[in-house]
Structure 1
């Protein structure tokens, strides 16, 4: 889903927006990190072009390079995912649909009881050692 504009150039603002969304970053967070308002981020994401210095700062917050933003191509990413995330066995499906066969709270209680028992043993050793 390349984002060309009428002038034939790619829309850098849309690429920033899409990468931000993929990374799970909100405009507010990006704004705080860059020391600007959320409205400024919105304007940047609507801009066809972004100044190189600003692009570098945004790239740093997004955890990618400025070049990665410029060359971002959602079609390529979707193609890679669809071509690599296939499995003829059920291991992948089982990993995704994992259901706990135990109650996590029971495990916490079990660990707590073991910790208490260990502490009691330590106390007994200390009491016997001091006598």
Structure 2
């Protein structure tokens, strides 16, 4: 048995990072000026030359070292270590903090409601006026 560890599968790392970026092989191929089949071949390769790795890293918005050292465990660890929930009822939920003042939205809705009522009243007045004209015309 050998105690040496196997080298990381660079192609698999590229594939995972591309998927995390919500990017299809075709989009990465277009960014690199190549074909989808070439991207597929790169993602199935255990190794990749440094120049090509640099191009792929740039297209994915990461560093070549980031691709070489990528692991799902590290990503999960980062997510687990950066999640904060100060509410005991949302232990495993997303902590949502609105980027707007809810009171401003309430006031805005109230003003919109007033405008709609004014339009409704005006429409009813117009309808009554029209009906009065019809009755006087007979």
Compute the TM-score of the two structures, normalised by the length of structure 1: 0.64
Q: Give the structure 1 partner of residue 15 of structure 2.
A: 17
1:59 aligned onto 2:61 = no
Q: Structure 1 residue runs of 4+, over 3 Å off? A: 92-96, 100-103
Map residues 108-123 of structure 1 onto 2, 5 A cutoff. none
Structure 2: gaps (5+ residues): 99-104, 113-138
By how many angstroms is 1:95 displaced? 3.6
For residue 93 of structure 1, give the secondary structure of its aligned residue in structure 2: coil
By how many angstroms is 1:35 displaced? 1.2
Q: Give the structure 2 partner of residue 73 of structure 1.
A: 71
Compute the TM-score of the two structures, normalised by the length of structure 2: 0.61
Structure 1: gaps (5+ residues): 1-6, 107-131
Q: Give the structure 2 partner of residue 93 of structure 1.
A: 95
Select 2:82's aligned residue among 78, 84, 106: 84
Aligned length, in residue pairs: 97
Q: Give the structure 2 partner of residue 128 of structure 1.
A: none
Aligned equivalents of 2:74, 2:9: Cα separation in 1: 16
For residue 62 of structure 2, give the secondary structure of its aligned residue in structure 1: coil
Q: Considering only CA atoms, is the larger Rg found in Structure 1 or Structure 2?
A: 2
Is the CA contact (8 Å cut-off) linking 2:84 and 2:95 kept in structure 1? Answer: no
